[in-house]
Structure 1
Amino acid sequence: MYYFISVLAATEVIFMSAIHPRFLASIISADKRISFIGCFVQSFAACASGIAESNLLAFMAIDRDLAVNRPLHYSAFMTRTVCIGLSVISWIIGIIIMLVDTTLTANLHFCGPNTIDNLFCDPPSLQVLACSDISFKNVVTVVLSIIGNGVPFCIIIAAYIRIMKTITTIKSAVGKRKAFSTCSSHLIVAGLYYITVSAVYFNPNSNTFKKYITLMFTLISPVLNPFIYTLRNKDVKKALRKSKLLKIYLNFNH
């Protein structure tokens, strides 16, 4: 679990780094331009890391499923090699999908206007600027979204159905609470991510409202995720109780 959380954190750092430095520079400075190549590089890096995160969340759901339903076999299944392999596969899927999507988008004919109605060079926001027919590209975007986000989402749903069935068979209230606590943080994070991503990419036609949804999954969710995971972690709580900063804070309030 800790390994997947660390990979997820690194992926979110890459995801945010591809978007927000350019976004903040546009807000602070008068120059809001981005080059054609820079735009597609940003699109590729941001969306590839986003798809990698989507697949990581699915693999984390499988990890939690094994921990709850196959606790005695967990160590044999989820070896370090398997964990590393799953994290690499998640990135390979993201890179391949975005190579296809970025290539198709870059090959569209752009003749103006050239104002992107979004926080970054998002593929749906780019394709609506094209002068050529984008009906085929819309279909491809939906198909790639299903592969990159829809399939992992279905895996998460299937994993949690199995987990919930197992939890309902536990007679002890303490046992049920412990079993659910191992999954609740991941369930909250996955829910925040997939609800916002689905609203943007399963209907590729851009509109103003989607800018605010994009802000949700590109900034607010990644910022909230560390707090969601750490506040439910006993080791983090224990470390906070021992920290000098917390003692100073408590003394100050008393």
Structure 2
Amino acid sequence: MNEFATDTAVNLLEPGRYGATITDRWCLPMGNVNGGYLLGVANRALEAALPFSDPVATSATYLRQARPGPAEVHVEVVRSGRRLAVGEARVITGGKEVLRVVATFADLTAGAEARSVQQLDAPRLPPPMECERLHTDKVPTLTLAQRLEFRYPALPGWVGGAPTNDASHEFWMRFADGSDADTIALPTLVDAATPPAFEIGVWQSTTVELTTYVRAIPAAGWLSARASTRYLAGGFHEEDFEIWDSEGILVAQSRQLMLDLG
């Protein structure tokens, strides 16, 4: 079992109630747990409770910061049909709800032969090993960075202390242990990269809401990504994210609203 599967595992306590351990291996510099990882735990519980395995649409509302420790995920099956199932999950740590998720699950293999149109191509990048690795894994408390590998054609300007004011990045990404991403991992990965808003001087923020669409089951290998922030206003900004698999197929899209903290 790979690191992500191990660290998002849940166990059934009773119908509708799952136990989990929120590890310190997916943390941000201040010790809080990455929101994408927390969503991965919620999606594992939803996957266990619903008859389908692919979270084609998730809406995650973050209620407060989460710290490592024991957790429970309370799941309600809202509806289960022939092609889609809808569930709600509440992640509780320290006696407080930290995340609420409403998700629609499906079986993406059932539509694998359906008509497909892509009007925007995957990022055009040099091969991963010809790109520069972003070494945020050198920050000891940023344990999230030790779980992932990112490679850029050229490192973002903020890395050298010269933000470019262009909050748009294209890069390669994968799990650091070499394991391939599945559809449960994709909603985590859209929230795992360094924010492009660093390029416009937004150094600290927290996610208010994250919506993710999983469009296809990813092929094995590296994933290419495109991330951007276009609007900063009223103390909030958005981040848009796309993930493409090694065959150039769009596998995930997301948008999140973030509160700027300074």
**TM-score class normalised by the smaller sequence:** under 0.3
Higher RCO structure (Cα 8 Å, ≥6 apart):
1
Structure with the largest fraction of strand:
2
Structure with the largest fraction of helix:
1
**Structure number, greater radius of gyration:** 1
Q: Report the TM-score, using the length of structure 2 for normalisation.
A: 0.22
